[in-house]
Amino acid sequence: MICEVGYKSKRGFTLVELVVVIAIISVLAVIAIPVVETSVKREKEIQLRRNLRIIRIAIDDYKDFVKKHKIKLDEERYGFPDKLEILVKGIEYRDKKNKTKIKKFLRKVPVDPMTNSHEWGLRSYQDKRDSTHWGGENVWDIYTKSERRALDGTYYKDW
């Protein structure tokens, strides 16, 4: 008669296998985290460029509209809005049939993705190009108030 020695196969992982898997996952995480951070930063930069362009185009459209419709404004404003909210609120004018209408240039002031707020840095036409303090006469240009650097090494506030 043949004696059978019963070997039961144990299921599960050995300690060595678990350590190897944890090491592999750790290495992948160390590689993936900077890639994810860079892609998130790049996405915010794209949104910042887009929002700056939207607001700057609205400011230019406002100036062109004032000039085209010969709307009387304070000469110190040079045809620029006195605050960003004017671009949303709109400007009152008379059409060819002499009806009063309101022309709006933005639906809402876009969020600054770098500071996550609606607060933008403003420059007047009378301010110096690199000024960080708004003179208050009009809104000629905008910039982000973020002090951080972009992926290309420039400061976001200089865009």
Around Cβ 88, how many Cβ atoms within 10 Å? 15
Return the residue matching tokens 């196969």: 9
Question: Token pair for residue 17?
Answer: 């296998």
- Residue 127 pLDDT class (50, 70, 90 cuts): confident
- Answer whether residue 75 shows pLDDT above 80: no
Among 11-25, 106-120, 143-157, the minimum mean pLDDT is found in 11-25
Please report the pLDDT score of residue 51 as a whole number. 97
Q: What is the pLDDT of residues 30-62, one digit of tens each?
A: 888 888 889 999 999 999 999 999 999 999 999
SS (H, E, C) the chain: CCCCCCCCCCCCCCHHHHHHHHHHHHHHHHHHHHHHHHHHHHHHHHHHHHHHHHHHHHHHHHHHHHHHCCCCCCHHHCCCCCCCHHHHHCEEEECCCCCEEEECCCCCCCCECCCCECCCEEECCCCCCCCCCCCCCCCCEEECCCCCECCCCCEHHHC
Mean pLDDT, to the nearest integer, of 84-105?
91
Mean pLDDT, to the nearest integer, of 77-106?
91
- Answer whether residue 5 shows pLDDT above 90: no
Share the mean pLDDT of the chain: 88
* Amino acid type, 155: Y
Please report the pLDDT score of residue 9 as a whole number. 64
Burial class (CB in 10 A: 0-12, 13-18, 19+), 114: buried
pLDDT above 90 covers a percentage of the chain that reads 58
Question: Token pair for residue 115?
Answer: 């500071």
